[in-house]
Structure 1
């Protein structure tokens, strides 16, 4: 047996692997050598095709689910296909129209994120996922404090892009609603358009000079700001919007109840999904990332492909989105869909921040 890389340079071998993947993607059934031979451009004999497919199986690109069955692609085959055989194409005009219709400008960024996850799911027939930007990364539009009982205060943070986050903080002494309103106006006036991580840095500098501040109002501002912008506010740093899990129920890959149960348990762990998507889009490139099968570092989705991209506002990474589905998927369309939705979604959010 020759080296796998050298062997896969052969155009005949590539054609056979490509056709097996294409056929299996459409039918979901193992592919036999006779079917491949009938469709080969070189009119290869079934025996020749059978030998090549046996070589590909030995190298880990194909596997035979049953002794009498044809062969199916492995994760390794899909990785080679995505990296070397796949012809990228633009999203169809019909699909573009669906995306543009659904991602209309909305005053509520959370509504937009829900709709983005829905359109990803509907067009791909897989699971659509949108992860909001980490709260530390969003720019402040305004803040509001509401007095509650037992020295508790409701904090409402509104970002420039319309994302709203609520948290409850506890103070050691009572602060009246008038004082809370004044503090909110001061914080909004002085910290508007700054990210929460930038605000935290400014507050730390203010705390360093706190001993020199005898003004009660400023001490209240520092106290409220410190608690409101702390990184442990009791709420998740990023929200996950997910749609279309039911799309996977009828797929052959998840006909086994135990596998389906494990998959759904994983999907329900939204914080772990958010971490996974964040790792997939590390860096500031707009490039779509594809992780296949065991490359996904979460139990339950080892039989899935995750296609992700960042979405950006003003050229800066804002959050991530993608689709999750069986490794047997129409990769060209799925990749172009994720890329198009990410770019369109970022533009809509950017328009919202400037309106």
Structure 2
């Protein structure tokens, strides 16, 4: 029976994950850097299997570090697609993020012993850069729809931690090769880096389900000046009169364009006045209308979920329980106990 390295199995699973991520996107714009990250991770798993499973060296010794150097920039590029619209050209961005790979290529020709440390520094630097981008919490994901922001935020944090884990493993391997003659290096590289790639790919797939909403020709953003009270009043008016929260693709940038108020000012005002992030604030408006519809109409929970702006039952139920401390059905039963209404049942 032929020997099949674990890394080959991981590569197949990552390709399945890639297919699922692409299929999930449907007609939405896909997060190409995250999808490329999954493919690179699968390729690195194959290279790991060839090297540690079959003892193949040669070209693999050149391909593996160059491909590994592409991982952190792809993770960072995927995050920035949800954080901000780049004002620099695609060529300049590609040139900037190609620097780690170019450094590795130069080191392959001049100083191979320094490659491991160069990769460690790259992984740590990009992980720190991602964590700095995420400092505002879910409000950092200005281009991600509010319903998907919390999930994407958690996935991105896991991706940053996976980069740090990979850097830690590479550091340990370097020290093991230096001081212990590589006694523990093979199993640690084979298993540890595979774990890091799997975590990173799963996180990328989860985050890739969020999408940057296309630009619309709405109100021009005004200056940064204005009190928190004025900003919050403007947001409340938009929610009350136009029910903007029903827009399933509503995100912080789109909300800013609707109001003509800078996104940062909206985020700051809501956070200071309510102690919540913008995603929680918008979802609470959705839940408030859902509560009213559950109590006053016979519509099914699924109908109500879609009507108020949610797209998934899991997120709707989670947010509903966060706000009301009960499920939608429990809320309906409690509110309609004394005045029953005709209720449509979910299939």
TM-score range, shorter-chain basis? under 0.3
Larger Rg: 1
TM-score by length of 2: 0.27
TM-score by length of 1: 0.26
Q: Larger strand proportion, structure 1 or 2?
A: 1
Q: Larger helix proportion, structure 1 or 2?
A: 2
